Structure 1
Amino acid sequence: MAFSAFTTSSSSLLLRVPNQSLSFSLSPTQNSVSFLFSKSNLSCLKSLSVRSISTPAAAAASATVEPAISLTEDALKHLNKMRSERSEDLCLRIGVKQGGCSGMSYTMEFENRANTRPDDSVIEYKGFVIVCDPKSLLFVFGMQLDYSDALIGGGFSFKNPNATQTCGCGKSFASEM
């Protein structure tokens, strides 16, 4: 495909593709890229502009990355208490399976650390280890596990940003993936 390129007075690069009604403009001084094109059935031109912002390397390195699954302080305390009652080196396996009121339900169980599989995601959260298989992680990424010792509605609860629908008990959900 042949195209013509030339610079404009604002030191940007403009590319035009003949017979395609497409032009591309790159402006290094403004950190922007612009595309101008027309659809074959429409007589009007549509434009699209993309602008990039550079971040200093020091600022990017100091940013913290949120864990794939997080625990509230109450959940962390309760899980550490449950784990200390056993004499093994345990981690918490979190997953999902088909079933439940809304289509998918959460699974949670302690597991010996030596039994983790090579494809598991291992998440260390404040010294506590959580493992999750790759398929389940797609549905629970960004989830927060909470715990309450209330008599009514107590126990573990899942705050899952991927859930599009949850049931009344809070142990199952639906997701559009």
Structure 2
Amino acid sequence: MIHLSQAAADEIERLKSKQKKANVLFRLTVKPGGCSGWFYDMTFNDKQTLTQGDRVFTSRDIEIVLDAQTLEQIQGSTIEYSEDLMGGGFRFYNPQASEVCGCGNSFSID
């Protein structure tokens, strides 16, 4: 399960409203890269592009799509959104991460 703060859900909904298609889902993926080995990638996918291994969770009325590898690496995570003088950004709190880089968007797993 993935948890969204209310601010994160509001920002995802705002971004979703800018998509050209109406029936899109929020997809969160973990990809190799970043300064700590893995980074988070957020996109919107059409519901018709779901694959057999995808899992769909709902948090604060946002449908979140995860593939099996991503689910294993971020199970139990919380996603928050905040704005400061430098702009806005998502923050990931991942209990599976053994190390997180300074930017907060890249992590490693033992």
Calculate the TM-score normalised by the size of structure 1.
0.58
Return the offset for 1:136.
1.1
- The one of 94, 99, 102 equivalent to 1:160 is 94
Question: One-letter code of the match for 1:165?
Answer: E
Aligned amino acid, residue 14 of structure 2 = K
Q: Residues 34-49 of structure 1 correspond to what in structure 2 (within 5 A)?
A: none
Deviation at 1:153, TM superposition (A): 6.6
TM superposition shift of 1:150: 1.4
Matched, 1:97 2:5: no
Give 1:152 shift: 2.7
For structure 1, the residue ranges without an aligned partner over 5 or more in a row are 1-67
Aligned to 1:82: 15
1:2-151 matched pairs, under 5 angstroms: 68-86=1-19, 87-151=21-85
- Equivalenced residues, count: 109
Greater radius of gyration (CA): 1
Residues 71-103 of structure 1 show CA distances to partners (whole Å, capped at 9, x for unaligned) of: 000000111111122342111111111111011
Q: Does structure 1 conserve the Cα–Cα contact (< 8 Å) formed by 2:6 and 2:60? A: no
1:127-148 per-position Cα deviation (integer Å, ceiling 9, x unaligned): 2100000011111000111111
- Write out the 4+ residue segments of structure 1 that deviate beyond 3 Å after TM superposition: none
Pick 1 or 2: higher relative contact order, CA cutoff 8 A, min separation 6.
2
Structure 2: how far apart are the matches of 1:149 and 1:115? 32
Structure 2's unaligned 5+ residue stretches are none
